[in-house]
Chains A and B, each alone.
Chain A
Amino acid sequence: QKEVEQNSGPLSVPEGAIASLNCTYSDRGSQSFFWYRQYSGKSPELIMSIYSNGDKEDGRFTAQLNKASQYVSLLIRDSQPSDSATYLCAVNRDYKLSFGAGTTVTVRA
């Protein structure tokens, strides 16, 4: 079993729609959770951090965490063509990040 699993893509959404990304993790000792955006050929860029159960909103992004279900999600509202990228879920334990393989999102104009 992989430590961090993300829903397989690619995910194609029309401009203005909501993109929903999911992630599950296996280590119950995980301490904090992150979403990174990675454009093709570039390095990961941190877009959301979440540490406690519930929702966290930042602009058009909402992260949700459910530690009991070992589940993290990211919603992108009002999707824009510039949101087209690979989104990586990362889980932190003891200062070491474990990443999922990523979900590629394409926003259709």
Chain B
Amino acid sequence: DTGVSQDPRHKITKRGQNVTFRCDPISEHNRLYWYRQTLGQGPEFLTYFQNEAQLEKSRLLSDRFSAERPKGSFSTLEIQRTEQGDSAMYLCASSLTSGKSYNEQFFGPGTRLTVL
């Protein structure tokens, strides 16, 4: 039984560069979520997918951010023209929607982004 995996675990980039992160959810989970966490704060919701459909995006998510889940399995989060304020831990989570599910979300190890 494998949990949620994320790649890369760490990314250092220069301001203005584009970066892309990958998330592989728990295999039977149909919902996938992206969150961002900065030091001393709880995770903040960014967006989520049910299968391949992106159902909600946070107002925090600027036009520089885009997420995809093309075949309803793995997902990618791309940040274009990175800014220093994008430095954070990017967390992916997944959950299984079922009759008795109350949306228990399980997190991956995260990708720590540093923008220089």
Contacts and interface: CB of A to CB of B under 8 A. Distances in A.
Interface of A: 4, 31-32, 34, 36, 42-46, 49, 51, 88, 90, 92, 94-102
Contact of B104 (A34, A42, A101): A34
B42 interface: yes
A96 B103 CA distance: 9
B102 A43 contact: no
A44 B113 CA distance: 17
A102 B42 contact: yes
Q: How large is the interface on B (under 10, 10 to 19, 20 to 34, 35 or more residues)?
A: 20 to 34
A43 B108 contact: yes
7 contacts: A43-B91, A44-B91, A49-B102, A95-B55, A97-B33, A99-B42, A101-B41
Give the secondary structure class of B's interface.
Answer: strand
A4 B105 contact: no
Nearest to B103: A92
A106 B106 CA distance: 24
B109 A43 contact: yes
B43 interface: yes
Interface in B86-116: 89, 91, 95, 102-110
Contacts of A97: 33, 35, 43, 45, 103, 105
B111 to A, nearest CB: 10
A101 B42 contact: yes
B102 A46 contact: no
Nearest to A36: B107
Contacts of A42: 109-110
Contacts of B42: 4, 88, 90, 99-102
Contacts of A100: 42
